[in-house]
Structure 1
Amino acid sequence: MKSTEPISIREVKREARHLYHGHFKTAIKINIAPIIFTILNVITLLMMMYAIIMSFRGLSQMPSSTAVTNDNDSALQQVFSIVESVLSDAIQLIFIWTASWTLIEWYENPKELPTFKDALQIFNRGNFLHTLLLTIVQSMLIFLWTLLFIVPGIVKLFSYSQTYFAYKIDIENGTRQGQLTDYIKVSRRVMAGRKWELFLLELSFIGWHIIGILTGGLAYIYIVPYLNATRVSYSRHLFTLAMSESVAV
């Protein structure tokens, strides 16, 4: 299931723009949840940066005799913090996935415009609990890899990036893998030798992310739909190549 034919970054971006051409209001509508989450994340990041800067300024002005070490954080509080972080990531992943599934269907039927209800298909097609468990498992695995160091976590983030697409294929076919982790295994197989390629695709949006941060997150109203459609276009090419080579073998 491993494909070696390169996927053009320019081509998948072109496909994303073509899909949205003349229908950007629809693009915003089906991506509204990921847009909101991204803007909130940017605001949180900016507030954290401001707090860090102010804390450093405060420390520089504080007499050394007043410095006190705070050891009140208990192990239980840290566990709760980890659980909260994993669940938060999983919930955000759910909304990203349901928007991406809608984009998959839009690519398959470009003349049929999706509705806001389509963008919430994860809640009305009987897959929510199973999907929630899958996103929790994926978020937990990425978190555990990140504990080793930042780089392994990033590598696994790319390695697991196609889980949503593998799961969507089963939903459309009315089938299901034996275990939740089987979808992650499928993602790992199709991404073997592809992680650098996907990294370059994500890196090509660095300028857009800078604009998004500088505008306090507002520019993500445009960036998130464009980015998500590009990712889905990449996934479509990836699985088409992987399946064709699998059949050829």
Structure 2
Amino acid sequence: MKSTKPISIRAVKREARSLYHGHFKTAIKINIVPIIFTILNVITTLMMMYTMIMSFRDLSQMASSASVTSDNDSAFQQVLNIVESVLSDAIKLIFIWTVNWALIEWYEKPKKLPTFKDAFQIFNRGNFLHTLLLTIVQSMLIFLWTLLFVVPGIVKLFSYSQTYFAYKVDIENGTRQGQLTDYIKVSRRVMAGRKWELFLLELSFIGWHLLGILTGGIAYIYVVPYLNATRVAYSRHLFTLAMSESGAA
């Protein structure tokens, strides 16, 4: 399923803007949860940065002696933090996936506007438990790769980025892969030789992200729907090319 034909960044962005043209209220409505998550993340990050800057004045007071008990508590707390981080990432993925699935359907039928309920289809179409397990597996794998250093984690983030689309294809066809990791394998195959291309696509939004940070997250009301629609447009091109080239072979 590996595809070699380049996908135009301008083209997928243009498709995203075309999809939303005259319907941006609908775009905001179906993207509302990712928008809220992103704004809260920006606010939290800015507050943490402020706290860190202020804490530099009191570094001399932060040193304290550690006992064996505190070491054990610290180790246990680290395990809890890892579990919390993986589950948190998995939950965020669930909401991103369900929005992207609504966008996939919108692209397929552009004249039929998605409803607010469509943005939560994971919860009302019997896919929640299976999707939760899949997002946990993906989040755990990315976390483990990140432990090897940041770069391998980022590479795998792009490599696994199409898992949601592979799973959506099966949902629409009423089929299932043998194992959860098979969807991740599909993503890895279609992204072979494509990770740099997707990185450039994400990098093209750097100005929008800076605007989002400078506005305290407010600009993400526009940026998140635009970014999600662009990612879905890219995935549609990617799988279309991969399947066509696979069939030709």
TM-score of the pair, normalised by structure 1: 0.96
Pair 1:29 & 2:32 matched: no
1:68 alignment partner AA: S
Deviations 1:65-112 (A, max 9, x none): x84245635211111110000000000000000000000000000000
1: CA distance, partners of 2:201 / 2:63? 46
Query: Residue 207 of structure 2 aligns to a residue in which SS?
Result: helix
- Aligned partner of 2:43 in structure 1 is 43
- Aligned partner of 1:146 in structure 2 is 146
1:210 alignment partner AA: L
Pair 1:213 & 2:209 matched: no
- Aligned partner of 1:180 in structure 2 is 180
2:64 alignment partner AA: V
After the TM superposition, which parts of structure 1 deviate over 4 Å for at least 4 consecutive aligned residues? none
Deviations 1:198-245 (A, max 9, x none): 000000000000000111111100000000000000000000000000
The offset of 1:58, in angstroms, is: 2.1
- Aligned partner of 2:8 in structure 1 is 8
2: CA distance, partners of 1:69 / 1:51? 23
- Aligned partner of 2:64 in structure 1 is 68
The offset of 1:48, in angstroms, is: 1.1
Deviations 1:18-54 (A, max 9, x none): 0000000000000001101111111111111111111
2: CA distance, partners of 1:57 / 1:151? 32
Pair 1:116 & 2:112 matched: no
1:215 alignment partner AA: T
- Aligned partner of 2:227 in structure 1 is 227
Query: Residue 4 of structure 1 aligns to a residue in which SS?
Result: coil
- Aligned partner of 1:126 in structure 2 is 126
1:136 alignment partner AA: I
Query: Residue 110 of structure 2 aligns to a residue in which SS?
Result: coil
* C-alpha spacing 1:204/1:70, structure 2 compared with 1 (3 Å): farther
Pair 1:200 & 2:196 matched: no
- Aligned partner of 1:86 in structure 2 is 86
Structure 1 gaps of 5+ residues are: none
The offset of 1:146, in angstroms, is: 0.4
1:38 alignment partner AA: T
Query: Residue 161 of structure 1 aligns to a residue in which SS?
Result: coil
TM-score of the pair, normalised by structure 2: 0.96
Compare 41-50 and 200-209 and name the one that shifted more.
41-50
2: CA distance, partners of 1:86 / 1:224? 22
2: CA distance, partners of 1:165 / 1:70? 48
Query: Residue 74 of structure 1 aligns to a residue in which SS?
Result: helix
1:150 alignment partner AA: V
1: CA distance, partners of 2:96 / 2:169? 16
Pair 1:159 & 2:159 matched: yes
1:220 alignment partner AA: Y
* Identity rate, percent: 86
Structure 2 gaps of 5+ residues are: none
2: CA distance, partners of 1:166 / 1:10? 24
- Aligned partner of 1:137 in structure 2 is 137
